[in-house]
Structure 1
Amino acid sequence: MNIPLSKRLFVTRYPAGCATNAELLSAMQTFETVIVLIAYRRFPHALTSCASALESLLQGSSIGAAKKDGLQILVRKATTKSSAVGAFAPDEMNDLRELRNQIVHRGFSPQDDGPSVDLLISTGIPFMELCLREFHHYELLGNLLPEVEKHIQVAQQVHQLAKTVAGGRMSHCLDSLSYLVRLRFAEGNLPGWEDIAQHGEATGNRLERVERAKQQLELAGEVTWPLTCAVCGEPDCAMVELGFDGAKPSRLQPMAMTCADCGFSAGPAQPFMTEVLTTDQVKAAEPLIRQEYGL
């Protein structure tokens, strides 16, 4: 019996079995809810939803699952059916399950944001990718909206760099994905959503806003350069503040950024975010930047 499929928000194609596999369909729908919760920075609830998606996914996989099996037993059964799943970090899966249980039964506080983001990026999403690949021959990141896929990868890169800093914060790693999804909701530019706001020239002339932003930064004595915004995609509207790399003084280093069009910004409070979002563009523009500033 085929199951009626709901409209998709971020997934471009469901796994082939979704039309007849209710648990698999539930897992995919719940994963989309995870992204919505990330967008509105409800990170602990995004983690609990991710754990629920994993339970549904494994219930709908050929691992010999019983209806009463919880996540711990489901993971254990999955490891016997796939060597790749068996090799996945067991300690991190235990951490994810324990934090999920704590949040569900005792609630959460702002102090749970960082650990929730850490486990989402390092464990929850990668484990879902792996199980979909192993048990359903489906690539999760290859079947998301391209800009959503891109900013999940940005989060992974920022997270990897943040781990190298002792006591590094993690809650900012999903900032660009969060901002992107809120922006697209506001624009009505996600499948199945009506226009609920207007974005662009209604908020003022973009070129004038970009020029004002550049002038404000230059008055502060900063080296700045306009780049294409990695979030909204508008050209020449992301003003990037540049400094010099302490390890390589001859190299320009992205320090902070502000988009004069969509308003996304990142700076010292979001370590490595500006670097990941803009380094390639800065490298490409470096000869022109040096010529403009006489560097």
Structure 2
Amino acid sequence: MGMETVSTNRAHGGTQGVYRHDSTATGTPMTFSVFIPDHAPGARLPVLWYLSGLTCTHANVTEKGEYRAACAEHGIIFIAPDTSPRGDAVPDDEAYDFGKGAGFYVDATQAPWATHYRMRSYIEDELPGLILREFPMADLGRQGITGHSMGGHGALTIALRNPDRFRSVSAFAPIASPLSCPWGEKALNGYLGADDRTAWRSYDACALIADGARLPELLVDQGDADTFLDNQLKPALLDAACRAAGIPLTLRMQPGYDHSYYFISTFMPDHVDWHAERLKA
């Protein structure tokens, strides 16, 4: 399985690349971006994964996330995958919160979604394998993960299911409990079916924690002017789950900030700094 270089650009003393490959997990071409700071020959750099939210591709954070200066300062590789399979043969939905751009980081089990919507396998298994082969400077022994909204849900659940893989975990305005909000109810019902809601629990951070999954600590930033705060995101549920489990959670409610990349880009350097402390320890 080869990898195509779509573009490369110099930025902040590093190289911002965009790449495409044929995915066996999704059965489609998949595009992702990688920022690699300049480094000495043979050096290996820690990796920070970023998972994007509803309607997004790799391009949103790549163009608007403002992570490169901090990643260059700390010598951290930044990887941004897509949010769903793409292509004319991939089933879609007219709504923005289901189908293309809304893969929810699950492996779908229901027709017609099950064939291509396998973002859990893609993010947890296939893409890390590709990174290992194609980017020898990436040290996958030192990984962190973060994400926004649907991608914050993805980051939290992937880390909770793979606690030995990630040294650091954070999120921006994550969907804290898909079991408890309209976005999650729609996505999990559509992709996984309504017959066995217990299968949904592996895609809900609060449920995973209640079922025994643990992480050393979490950092979450949330804007208090986010229009999705009370109906969809519900950070108080994550706070309660972490308190009950004894997981240290730093939940920062940021006054006046909304759900957009103006919010994300403002606090992205803080998150990169936070991950750097743990990835380089």
Q: Which has the higher contact order (CA 8 A, sep 6+)?
A: 2
What is the TM-score of this pair, normalised by structure 2? 0.25
* Structure exhibiting the larger radius of gyration computed from Cα positions: 1
Q: Which one has a larger percent strand, Structure 1 or Structure 2?
A: 2
What is the TM-score of this pair, normalised by structure 1? 0.24
Q: Which one has a larger percent helix, Structure 1 or Structure 2?
A: 1
